[in-house]
Each structure stands twice: as structure tokens, then as C-alpha cells.
Amino acid sequence: MDALFRKTSIISLQLTVFTLAAIAFILYMPEMGRVHTESMLFVAFATVLTLFAGLRAGLFTSLAILFCFGSLYFWNLFFRPQDDTLLFDEATLFYYGISLIGLVILSGLLHERIKALHTLNRDLQEQVKQLVAIDTETGFDNRGRFNLELQLELDRTKRHSEAFTVFLYKIDYLKEFKKLYGQREYERFLLYFSERLYQSTRTTDKKFRLDTEEFALILPDASDEHMMILTDRFRRMLGDYETESGKLVTFTHHIAHYTVTEDIAVDTPDEILTLIGNELKSYAL
């Protein structure tokens, strides 16, 4: 947060300097003859472009603008020396060029600071997202916490030769249910589901929500022998759901599980999820 405050303060300072420089340019810009308005518009274009595209784009644009005005100066100098209304002198062109490049550099620095602030803000949001381990709709832990707990269970199994089981539970068409019945009914169903899941599991079983439709359980000290009992329990867990208006909705769901023992050659949560998805038995309930 301190870094964010410092960067914001620096951006405010640079924005103030840039604004004062732009005002000074407008007030004290030397007269550029018949192309004075065009010269001002070119400066505005170059600075705005730099703010959005960065310093490199602004400098290339500035060089192109100065090349055009320089060519105009020499064309007037050699071919129309009698036309004083269009001709501007070397000093005017020099001051214009310095002002243009100065404003572009200030714009480029402001662009870089804003870009850095955006990156920092995104990183801070990601850190907060990782720290917030609870899914607010169900009260279960989120995917980040699932990966952490799964890795801890893997390490514990290797140290103490204890088995555990990972259970995946997917509710089909939950997104479509939300669209059809609305947010209120969707939240009511999630509360109903989470209560039933708590009733169907032990207090030591860890519960997670991986995404909108997919949930996970880590069951310590649960072996393959317990899976038929758990599967039958989950089959009866949801049943027909009655909406607030009294309509019955039947959800289909799928289960996959995998038991990890000390003999299993897996080291990461991703490996276990891959095994569950590709190699293990799935139950369509």
C-alpha cells in the first residue's frame, strides 16, 4: 500500500508539472505564421499519442513533425523568400522543437508511471485474491486454498505413510440455473447445497469450490474402501431441489475421486487433478 501511495503521489506531481508546461507552451509559444494553428494541433496530437502509446511513439511522431516544419522552412527560404507571412525564423523553429520534445518527454514519463501503477495495482489485487481463501457464496475454501491444502496432504502422506482421498463433485448446468431462475434463487440453492454437503461429510473433511459448477473435497484417512459408501451418500445428498416458488428442479451431477497413498508417484496437485480427470472412475448420478 505504501508503494501504491508513493507511485500515486509521483503521478500527481508529474501531472502537475505536465499541466504547467502545457499552459506555458500555450501562453508563450512563438508565432508560427500561417501554420500556427496546425503547429499547436500537432503538439496536442503528439502529447496525447505519447500518453496512450508511450515515449517511443511520441518521439518518432515529434521527429516527423519537426521534419515537416523544417522542410517547410527551407522550402520558404529558398523558393518563396518574399512570402513573410508563411515564413518563421530559425529561433522560432528551435523553440517550437524544444517545446514539442519537452512536452512529449513529460507525457512519456507520465505514461510510464501510469503503466507502472496499473501493474502494481494488478499485482496487489492478485495478492489480495490469493489471501482471500473463502468463496463468499458457499463458505468453502477457493481453488488457491485447495492447491495449497492438497500439496500439504501430499507432503504429509510421504512423511507419515497415510492415505487421503480427493473427491471432485460437479453440478451440471448450474450456470444455466442461475440465468433461468435469477441471482436470489441461485444463492438460495448454493446455501441449500452447502448445508447438505456439510451434513454428508465429517468436520475434518476439507471442502472447496473450484469454479462455478465444480467442488472438491479432501478426505483425510479415507481409503478406496470408503468410496462406495461416500458415493451412495452423495447420490442421495442433493435430490430434487424445490425452488422458492415451489417448483422442483432435478440436478445431474458427476463425481470423480482418487486415493493417494505413499506408493503413488505424484508430487503436485495438478498431477492428481489430471489423474482424476483422465484415469479414474467417474460416476454420473
Q: What is the reported pLDDT for 137? A: 83
Identify which of 6-10, 78-82, 154-158 has the greatest average pLDDT.
154-158
* C-beta separation of 63 from 119 below 8 A: no
Residue 86 is predicted with a pLDDT of 59
Q: Does residue 186 carry a pLDDT above 80?
A: yes
Ordered by start, the domain boundaries in the chain are 2-131, 143-284
- Per cent of the chain over pLDDT 90 is 9
pLDDT of residue 130: 60
224 is written with which cell numbers? 478406496
Q: At what angle do helices 55-79 and 36-53 cross, to 10 degrees?
A: 160
Tell me the pLDDT band of 283, cut-offs 50, 70 and 90. very low
Is the pLDDT reported for residue 285 higher than 50? no
Instruction: Name residues whose C-beta falls within 8 Å of residue 45's C-beta, 6 or more positions apart in sequence.
Output: 61
User: Of 199, 144, 194, whose CA–CA distance to 174 is shortest?
Assistant: 194
Per-residue pLDDT tens over the stretch 79-122 = 766 665 556 777 888 888 888 898 889 888 888 888 887 887 78
DSSP 3-state of 63? helix
Residue 21 · residue 127 · CB < 8 Å: no
Residues in the chain: 285
Residue 189 pLDDT grade (very low, low, confident, very high; cuts 50, 70, 90): very high
CATH superfamily of 143-284: Reverse transcriptase/Diguanylate cyclase domain (3.30.70.270)
For 42-87, the pLDDT digits (tens) are 888 998 898 888 889 989 999 998 898 888 888 777 776 666 555 6
- Please report which confidence band the pLDDT of residue 178 belongs to, taking 50, 70 and 90 as the band edges: very high
If you average pLDDT over residues 130-139, what whole number do you get? Answer: 74
Cβ(80)–Cβ(61) below 8 Å: no
What span, in angstroms and rounded, lies between the C-alpha atoms of 61 and 144? 46
Poorest-confidence range of 18-27, 57-66, 153-162, 222-231?
A: 222-231
Q: Which pLDDT score is estimated for 33?
A: 75
**Alpha carbon distance, N-terminus to C-terminus of the chain:** 48
Grade residue 281 by pLDDT with cuts at 50, 70 and 90.
very low
Q: What are phi and psi of 250, to 5 degrees?
A: -105, 120
On the question of pLDDT at 148 being above 50, the answer is yes
